[in-house]
Amino acid sequence: MKILNADQIRALDKSTIQNEPIAPINLMERAALAFVDWFVDRFPNTTSTKIFCGLGNNGGDGLAIARLLLERDYPIDVYVVRYAPRESDDFMHNHRRLKLVIERIHYVELTEDIPAIRHNEVVIDAILGSGLSRPAEGIIKDTIGAINRAPATVVSVDIASGLYTDQANSQADTIIEPDYTVTFQLPKLAFVMPKNGRYVGEWHLVDIRLHKRYIDHAPTPYYYTQPKDARLLLHKRERFSNKGSFGHALLLAGSYGKIGAAVLSARACLRSGVGLLTVHAPSCGYTTLQTAVPEAMCRPDSNERMLTGQSEVDTPPPADYSTVGIGPGIGKAPETLAMLRDLLPTLTKPMVVDADALNLLSENRELLDKLPKYSILTPHPKEFERLTQTWKDDYQKLELLRNFAKKYKVVVVLKGAYSAVATPDGDIHFNSTGNPGLSTGGTGDVLTGVLTALLAQGYDPIEAAVLGVFFHGLAGDRAAEQRGPIGMTASDVVDALRWE
Ligand SMILES: NC(=O)C1=CN([C@@H]2O[C@H](COP(=O)(O)OP(=O)(O)OC[C@H]3O[C@@H](n4cnc5c(N)ncnc54)[C@H](O)[C@@H]3O)[C@@H](O)[C@H]2O)[C@@H](O)CC1
Ligand SMILES: Nc1ncnc2c1ncn2[C@@H]1O[C@H](COP(=O)(O)OP(=O)(O)O)[C@@H](O)[C@H]1O
Ligand SMILES: [K+]
C-alpha cells in the first residue's frame, strides 16, 4: 500500500471529485460516514461526546460526523473553534445542515469559551487536518492544550490537529495527543515516525473509495507493507523440490559469551525454509550448537573465543554458499575485523550483515564499498547512526537512510516499530507488523537468520527484506499473543515463525 504526501492527498481528493464524479460535499459525507461506522463500533454507548471543529474541511468532517452521530442518538456537543474569519465551502454547507438538527452550536473564540472536559467523555478532534500549513497558535493552541490536559478519550479525525502529514514538527508545537486516529484511505508518513508516537495513538484506516487509478499512478517512494502485499511475495514450494532447491546458507556468528546469538539466528534460519545451514562459530560454541540446533552443520573456528575465519575442518569457501549471513554476537576483535576484510572481496552474491559486523563497517568505512551489491544490512537506530551521522529529526533520518542505500547499492532495514526497508532505488517500505514485546535481546539475531534463509532460497533481496521483516514482526505478534509482550523472548519469536 502506498503512502502519499499532503499535496498528493489533496490531488487525490480532487481526482476523485472529477473522475468518479462526486460532489465535494458528498465525498465529505462519505468520509464522515466511514468515521462514524468506526466510531459506533468502537464506542457503542458513550454518555457524552464533545466534537471540536476547525473552519476547514477537517472541521466540515467534524460537523457532518456530529449530525450523523445525533441521528444515531449519541449525546453530542459541538464546539467550533473560530480562529479565522473565513470557513471552507463544505464547512459552511455542513454548518447549515447541522443547525437544522441541533439545539445549539458552541463557538470557541476566547479561552473562557473552552468547556471543561470530564474523564468519562469522548472528544472528537476535527480542528485541523492534512491542510495544516503552520503551527497551531492562539485559540487553537489553547484548545488543543485543554484537550490534552483533559482526562477524556480523544479520537482524531484524519490526523491529530497540529501534526504535519509529511514534515517534521518543531519541539515547541502544540499538537493533539489522541488515543486513536481514524484516517482516510491511506496511512500518513507522520504515523510511522518514532517521535510522533504520542501524536498518533492507535491508528485505523477507513476506506472512502478515493480514486484508485490516481493512487495506482501516483509516484511515491513510500510504501506500507500490509499482509496482502507480503503474502504476494511468498514463493510456493514445488512438489518435486528437495533440500538442494532451497539453498545452503553460511552463518558467521557468535563469540565467547555470545554463542546464544548464533543459536537464535541458526534456529530462525532453519524455521524460515533454508535447505541446508552451516554455522561457523568460535570452537567454544561447538557442543552448544550441535546440541541446540542439531539440524545445522557446525564449522568450529580454530580460535576458541572469537571468529577468525580459520578452521581445521575443511569446508568450501564462503563464496560457494548460496548466501552468507554475518554479525550476531561476533564482537569486534581485530582478528574478526581481519576476517571481514578478507571475506568481503571474495563474495559476489548478496549477503546479510548485522550487529557487530555493522559496527566493524562503521569503524572501517572503506569496507562499505566492498559489500556485494544488494546485500541486506540490518542496523537498529544506534548502529545506523554509527554508520552515518546523528540526525535532527525522523525525516532527516529517512533521507540519510535513503541516501545510504542508494550510495552503497544495498538494502537497509532500519529496525524499530514500523521497521523501514530502504532500497538502492530510493524506495522505503514501512513494516506493519511487530510490537514492543520485540524490544528484547536476541530478536535482531532472529531477523538475521530469517533474512539469510530467504536469500539462500533465491528471493530477490528487496523482496526478502520486505517479506522477512513482515513475517518476523508477525511472529512477534503471535508470540505476544501467546506469552504476552512482557514475557515473550526471542526464542518464542523463533517458535512462532509461520510462513503463511
Ligand atoms: N478535500 C476532500 O474532498 C476531503 C477532505 N477531507 C478532510 O479535509 C481535511 C483537509 O482539509 P483542508 O484542506 O480544508 O484543511 P484543514 O481542515 O486541515 O485546515 C483548514 C485550513 O486552515 C488553514 N490552516 C492551516 N494551518 C493552520 C493553523 N495552524 N492555524 C490556522 N489555520 C490553519 C489552512 O489554510 C487550511 O485551509 C482532511 O484532513 C480531511 O479531514 C475529507 O472530508 C475527505 C474528503
Ligand atoms: N516497539 C517495537 N515494535 C515493533 N518491533 C520492534 C519494537 N522494538 C524492537 N522491535 C524489533 O525487534 C528487533 C530488535 O532488534 P535488535 O535491536 O537488533 O535486537 P538484538 O540486538 O537484541 O537482537 C528488530 O527487528 C525491531 O524491529
Ligand atoms: K484533526
Q: Find how far residue 337's CA is from the centre of its chain.
A: 32
Amino acid at 353: V
Q: What pLDDT, on the 0 to 100 scale, is given for residue 244?
A: 82
Q: What pLDDT, on the 0 to 100 scale, is given for residue 84?
A: 87
Residue 397 annotated as part of some ligand binding site: no
- Residue 13, SS3 per DSSP: helix
Our answer on whether the CB atom of 389 is closer than 6 Å to any ligand 2 atom is: no
Look at ligand 1, atom 39, and give the residue with the nearest C-alpha.
129
Tell me the sheet residues that pair with 80. Answer: 53, 107
Under a CB-based contact definition with an 8 Å cutoff, are residues 323 and 247 in contact?
yes
Placement of cell 510490537 in the chain:
435
C-alpha cell at 419: 521497521
Under a CB-based contact definition with an 8 Å cutoff, are residues 63 and 137 in contact?
no
Q: What pLDDT, on the 0 to 100 scale, is given for residue 381?
A: 98
User: Closest ligand 2 atom to the C-alpha of 433?
Assistant: 4
Nearest residue to 358 via CA among 334, 388, 323, 335: 388
Q: What pLDDT, on the 0 to 100 scale, is given for residue 201?
A: 98
Nearest residue to 49 via CA among 29, 65, 31, 30: 65
Q: Find how far residue 162's CA is from the centre of its chain.
A: 22
Our answer on whether the CB atom of 162 is closer than 6 Å to any ligand 1 atom is: no
Query: How far is Cα 465 from Cα 386, in angstroms, rounded to an integer?
Result: 21
Query: How far is Cα 156 from Cα 330, in angstroms, rounded to an integer?
Result: 46
Q: What pLDDT, on the 0 to 100 scale, is given for residue 372?
A: 98
* pLDDT (tens place) for every residue of the chain, 500 residues total: 999 999 999 999 999 999 999 999 999 999 999 999 999 999 999 999 999 999 999 999 999 999 999 999 999 999 999 998 899 999 999 999 999 999 999 999 999 999 999 999 999 999 999 999 999 999 999 999 999 999 999 999 999 999 999 999 999 999 999 999 999 999 999 999 999 999 999 999 999 999 999 999 999 999 999 999 999 999 998 888 887 889 999 999 999 999 999 999 999 999 999 999 999 999 999 999 999 999 999 999 999 999 999 999 988 999 999 999 999 999 999 999 999 999 999 999 999 999 999 999 999 999 999 999 999 999 999 999 999 999 999 999 999 999 999 999 999 999 999 999 999 999 999 999 999 999 999 999 999 999 999 999 999 999 999 999 999 999 999 999 999 999 999 999 999 999 99
Q: What pLDDT, on the 0 to 100 scale, is given for residue 238?
A: 87
Residue 89 annotated as part of some ligand binding site: no
Nearest residue to 90 via CA among 126, 119, 52, 63: 63
Sheet holding 297-300, edge to edge: 222-225, 428-431, 420-422, 411-414, 376-377, 352-353, 323-326, 248-252, 276-281, 297-300
Domain ranges of the chain: 13-220, 230-496
> In the CATH hierarchy, which fold is given to the domain comprising 230-496?
UDP-N-acetylmuramoyl-L-alanine:D-glutamate ligase (3.40.1190)
Q: What length does the chain have? A: 500
Our answer on whether the CB atom of 436 is closer than 6 Å to any ligand 2 atom is: yes
How many CB atoms sit inside 10 A of residue 389's CB? Answer: 10
- Residue 355, SS3 per DSSP: helix
Q: What pLDDT, on the 0 to 100 scale, is given for residue 242?
A: 82
Residue 158 annotated as part of some ligand binding site: yes
Does the N-terminal peptide bond of residue 21 adopt cis geometry, omega within 30 degrees of 0? yes
C-alpha cell at 306: 572469537
C-alpha cell at 243: 533440500
User: Closest ligand 1 atom to the C-alpha of 140?
Assistant: 30
CA 99 to ligand 3 center in whole angstroms: 21
Our answer on whether the CB atom of 133 is closer than 6 Å to any ligand 1 atom is: yes
Look at ligand 1, atom 26, and give the residue with the nearest C-alpha.
132
Residue 429 backbone dihedrals phi, psi, to 5 degrees: -105, 120
Look at ligand 2, atom 8, and give the residue with the nearest C-alpha.
439
Our answer on whether the CB atom of 489 is closer than 6 Å to any ligand 2 atom is: no
- Residue 5, SS3 per DSSP: coil
Give 13-220's CATH code, choosing from 3.40.50.20, 3.40.920.10, 3.40.50.10260, 3.90.1170.50: 3.40.50.10260
Placement of cell 523463533 in the chain:
494
Q: What pLDDT, on the 0 to 100 scale, is given for residue 7?
A: 97
Longest dimension (CA), the chain: 87
Instruction: Cite the DSSP H helix spans in 432-460.
Output: 443-456
Ligand nearest to the CA of 165: 1
- Residue 452, SS3 per DSSP: helix
CA 50 to ligand 1 center in whole angstroms: 20
